[in-house]
């Protein structure tokens, strides 16, 4: 379990997360859902050590909040939502994921090249290895960034809106890849805007609203709790299909 206890984090003059407690299971895909501005990205940034935070985040008993950045990066990989496009090749970007493991002089070892290649093959972008990032499509670049996070080879993988830029086939493929990572035992945490995808692909969900965690449970429990309806101010409904539940939404405001 990744045990988050009484976590508070935010920005100067804007204390976004207020005393959040959550238990995130290993070997599972957990989706953080919540309306715009509810604190989802802030939560991931706090877990990745990018924002200062108070409280406790324990990974199998190890306190992560006090680990030096380089050590933390051996446990937690984070793909932020907004990324720059450096003037380098796809392979060199993915190699950056190996940074926490390099010692002086910072030269990549055989193992680092192998991990980068494996991560790129997993994401189906090995054929793009020599291409400059700027020459890739948004979707190709997105997969290269995800490969960088995978090359970091950490037990916890945090992806903020990983489906951005991906068409529906690639979104579904990415969900399969997230599930495959979970099946390897990793703790996969996704921020997703697509609630039907979240309800249909997640093992576990947490609903954030205004910096607080309203609910945590399985997708079924989350749907039945009504917290998604309250947080998003919509009606979440579902129909049974041969492929399982399919969810749909109506904008009727619930007061």
Does residue 41 touch ligand ADP according to CB under 6 A? yes
Tokens for 231?
Answer: 């947080």
Which residues contact residue 255 at a Cβ distance below 8 angstroms, ignoring those fewer than 6 apart?
Answer: none
Tokens of 98: 């190996």
Min CB(38)–ligand ADP separation in Å:
4
Please check whether residue 212 is in contact with residue 9, taking contact to mean a CB–CB distance below 8 angstroms: no
Of 6 and 135, the one with the shorter C-beta distance to ligand ADP is 6
Which neighbouring-strand residues pair with 187?
A: 28, 156
C-beta of 94 vs 202, nearer to ligand ADP: 202
Binding-site size for ligand ADP (CB under 6 A) equals 11
227 is an interface residue for ligand ADP by CB under 6 A? no
Question: Cβ 34 to ligand ADP, closest distance in Å?
Answer: 5
- Given 24, 31, 40, 150, the residue binding ligand ADP (CB under 6 A): 40
In terms of CB distance, is 15 or 185 closer to ligand ADP? 15
As given in the structure block, the two tokens for residue 110 are: 């055989």
CB nearer to ligand ADP: give 39 or 219: 39
Kindly provide the b/e burial profile for residues 15-30, where b requires at least 16 CB atoms within 10 angstroms of the residue's own CB: ebbeebebebeeebbb
Shortest Å distance, C-beta 41 to ligand ADP:
3
User: Which one, 133 or 206, has the nearer CB to ligand ADP?
Assistant: 206
**Distance (Å, whole) CA 153 – CA 239:** 38
Q: How far is the CB of 94 from ligand ADP (least distance, A)?
A: 25
Q: Which two tokens stand for residue 12?
A: 């100067």
Among 1, 21, 37, 176, the residue binding ligand ADP under the rule CB under 6 A is: 37
Smallest gap from residue 11 Cβ to ligand ADP (A) = 3
Contacting ligand ADP within 9-28 (CB under 6 A)? 11, 14, 16
Which stretch in 18-26, 29-37, 96-104, 238-246 sits in contact with ligand ADP by CB under 6 A? 29-37
Contacting ligand ADP within 64-103 (CB under 6 A): none
Nearer to ligand ADP, 97 or 211 (CB): 211
CB of 89 to ligand ADP, least distance (A): 30
CB of 118 to ligand ADP, least distance (A): 30
Residues that bind ligand ADP (CB under 6 A): 11, 14, 16, 34, 36-42
């Amino acid at each position: 379990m990744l045990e988050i206890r009484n976590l508070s984090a935010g920005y100067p003059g804007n204390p976004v997360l207020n005393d959040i407690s959550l238990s995130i299971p290993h070997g599972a895909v957990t989706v953080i859902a919540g309306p715009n501005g509810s604190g989802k990205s802030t939560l991931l940034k706090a877990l990745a050590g990018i924002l200062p935070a108070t409280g406790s985040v324990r990974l199998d008993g190890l306190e992560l909040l006090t680990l030096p950045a380089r050590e933390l990066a051996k446990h937690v990989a984070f793909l932020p939502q907004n990324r720059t496009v450096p003037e380098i090749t796809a392979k060199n970007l993915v190699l950056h994921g190996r940074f926490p493991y390099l010692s002086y002089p910072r030269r990549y070892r055989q193992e680092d090249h192998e991990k980068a290649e494996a991560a790129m093959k997993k994401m189906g972008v090995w054929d793009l290895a020599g291409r400059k990032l700027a020459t890739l499509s948004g979707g190709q670049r997105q997969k290269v960034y995800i490969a960088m996070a995978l090359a970091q080879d950490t037990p916890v993988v945090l992806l903020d809106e990983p489906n951005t830029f991906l068409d529906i086939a690639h979104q579904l493929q990415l969900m399969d890849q997230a599930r495959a990572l979970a099946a390897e035992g990793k703790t996969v945490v996704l921020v997703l805007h697509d609630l039907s995808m979240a309800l249909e692909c997640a093992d576990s969900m947490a609903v954030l609203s205004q910096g607080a965690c309203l609910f945590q449970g399985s997708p079924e429990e989350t749907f039945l709790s009504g917290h998604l309806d309250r947080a998003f101010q919509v009606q979440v409904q579902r129909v049974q299909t041969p492929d399982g539940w399919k969810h749909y939404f109506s904008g009727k405001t619930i007061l």
